[in-house]
Structure formats: structure tokens, C-alpha cells
Amino acid sequence: SEFQELGVDVEVTEIPMEVAALIYGATLAEDGSIAYKTGDAAPDVGVGFYTTKMVKKDGVTNKYFQGVVYPSLKGSRQGATYNTKGQSITFANGKAHFVGKASANGVFQAFSDNFTTEAEAIAWLEEKLPLNA
């Protein structure tokens, strides 16, 4: 059995409209609003982020930054939950689902080494996206 695809679920507090239009294949209007249409088709996109982690070595704990890249994902909206309580609304985080495949070079996920600064992790991400180019 060979690699076919992977699923990546993300819980988000906010996706900027221009990013949502890009990852979901939606229409971004001149006024900044977004419209989802029946003919929308999500493109293959590279998605990356960095995380912080604490690493203890020789009795000393240091903070590091590590980049994570998925070079080829297709996004689909999972919607947001709006819970009402009387006359107010409680917003829950929205969810996005991505289905990924390996890029032309066989990579479906990549991790950076540990960086000591956030700027180094961001620079690594900018260098790696897209991996399938």
C-alpha cells in the first residue's frame, strides 16, 4: 500500500478574508467581503506555521521555534458554531479541513530544526513554501 493522502484539521479563531478566498477558492469582493459559490474549487496550496517548544538539555530549559510545512493541501470549510443564549451570541472557533497529498518530490510534511528566534522560523517557512515548486 502506497501513500495516498492525509487529513489535516485546524481549529482557528480567525482567517483573514483574502486567505480564506485563496485556500477555499472563494470570491473576494472589492469591499473585502467574501462569497462562497456553488462552483468554487479549492486549489492546491502550501500551508505552513511555526510552533514554540521548550526543550530541556543538561538541566537547562530553552525556548525554541520549529517550522512545519504541508506543501500540497486542498481546503474545505467546516463552518463555525454560533450558540445563542437569550439575546446574546457565543461564538465558537471555526474549523477548516484540509486533504493533502505528496508534492512532486514526495514530501507531504516537513519540519525545521529548532531555531532560537521566531524570525529564523519565519524565514525557513518563506524559503520552503511551496516545496512542490
Between 30-34, 73-77, 88-92, the lowest mean confidence (pLDDT) is in 88-92
Query: To which residue does cell 511551496 refer?
Result: 130
Q: Are 50 and 119 in contact (CB under 8 A)?
A: no
Task: Return all residues near 6 (Cβ < 8 A) that are at least 6 apart.
Answer: 99, 100, 101, 108, 109
Mean pLDDT value of segment 98-113: 90
Q: How many CB atoms lie within 10 A of CB 67?
A: 24
Sign of CA dihedral 72, 127, 11, 66: positive
Mean pLDDT value of segment 92-121: 88
Residue 94 identity: G
Residues 50-87: pLDDT tens digits?
999 999 989 999 999 999 999 889 988 776 666 666 66
Residue with the bigger pLDDT between 107 and 2: it is 107
Residue 123: predicted pLDDT: 94
